[in-house]
């Protein structure tokens, strides 16, 4: 994943899992604040491309729950205490 894509994904994870400022399911419009430099079409394609409809479950970042609406893939992962870049649920 590109570094800018990873940054946007990390921001989405933080907003959903930690800050609780982004509710699931979310849309491309909802993630504008995390990727203001991207046009709307890029925000939409980021969600669509990285969902379980297009990638294997172990690579996908999002699950499409209905047309245009996504949620984070839930993963159980081990995270070091100093690793601030991971998005885990558990």
Cis ω before 25 (30° cut-off from 0): yes
Residues 57 and 50 sit within 8 Å (Cβ to Cβ): no
Tell me if 81 is assigned to some domain: no
Residue 6 has pLDDT above 60, yes or no: yes
Matching residue, tokens 């969902």: 51
8-48 confidence digits (pLDDT tens): 999 999 999 999 999 999 999 999 999 999 999 999 999 99
| Predicted confidence band of residue 75 (pLDDT cuts 50, 70, 90) | confident
Torsions phi, psi for 38 (to 5 deg): -90, 140
Residue 85 has pLDDT above 60, yes or no: no
How many folded domains does the chain comprise?
Answer: 1
In this prediction, residue 17 carries a pLDDT of 94
Tell me if 7 is assigned to some domain: yes
Question: Which range marks the domain in which residue 47 is found?
Answer: 3-72
Tell me if 85 is assigned to some domain: no
Residue 79 has pLDDT above 60, yes or no: no
Residues 74 and 31 sit within 8 Å (Cβ to Cβ): no
């Amino acid at each position: 994943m590109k570094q800018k894509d990873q940054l946007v994904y990390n921001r989405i994870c933080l907003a959903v899992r930690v800050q609780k400022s982004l509710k699931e399911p979310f849309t491309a419009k909802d993630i504008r604040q995390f990727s203001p430099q991207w046009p709307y079409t890029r925000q939409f394609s980021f969600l669509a491309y990285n969902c379980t409809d297009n990638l294997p479950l172990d690579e996908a970042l999002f699950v499409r729950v209905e047309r245009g609406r996504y949620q984070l893939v839930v993963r159980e992962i081990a995270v070091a205490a100093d690793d601030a870049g991971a998005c885990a649920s558990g």
